[in-house]
Amino acid sequence: MRIVHVITRLIIGGAQENTLLSCEGQHDRGHDVTLLTGPAIGPEGSLLERAQRYGYRVEVIDEMRRSILPVKDFRTYVRLTKRLRELRPDVIHTHSSKAGIVGRWAADRAKVPVIVHTIHGLAFTASGSRMVNSVYRVLERQTAPLTTAIVCVADAMRRQSLAAGIGMPDQYVTVYSGMETGAFINPPRPRGIVRRELGLAETDIAVGTIARLFHMKGHDDLLDLAPDLCRRHPRLRFLWVGDGLLREHFEARIAAMNLRDRFILTGLVPPEKVPELTGAMDILVHPSRREGLARALPQGALAGSPVVTYDVDGNAEGLIHERTGFLIPPFDRPKLSAALAVLLEDESQRRAMGAAGRAFALARFDTRVMVEALGSLYARLAARGKV
Q: What is the pLDDT along the chain (387 residues), one digit of tens a residue?
A: 999 999 999 988 889 999 999 999 999 999 999 999 999 887 778 999 999 999 999 999 999 988 778 899 999 999 999 999 999 999 999 998 889 999 999 999 999 999 999 999 887 776 667 888 898 899 999 999 999 999 999 999 999 999 999 999 999 999 999 999 999 999 999 999 999 999 999 999 999 999 999 999 999 999 999 999 999 999 999 999 999 999 999 999 999 999 999 999 999 998 899 999 999 999 999 999 887 788 999 999 999 999 999 999 889 999 999 999 999 999 999 999 999 999 999 999 999 999 999 999 999 999 999 999 999 999 899 888 644
Domain limits, the chain: 2-178+366-383, 182-364
Which residues are within 8 A (CB) of 125 and not within 5 positions of it... i.e. 6 or more apart? 133, 160, 290
Q: What distances in angstroms separate CA 217 from CA 231, 246, 267, one per listed residue?
A: 24, 11, 15
Residue 55 CA to residue 149 CA, distance in Å, equals: 27
**Domain 2-178+366-383 bears CATH identifier 3.40.50.2000:** yes
pTM: 0.81
Q: What is the CATH number of domain 182-364?
A: 3.40.50.2000
H helix or E strand, kind and range, residue 37: strand 32-38
CA end-to-end span of the chain, whole Å? 9
Q: Fold identical between 2-178+366-383 and 182-364?
A: yes
Order across the sheet with 32-38: list the strands: 57-60, 32-38, 2-9, 91-95, 114-119, 149-152, 172-174
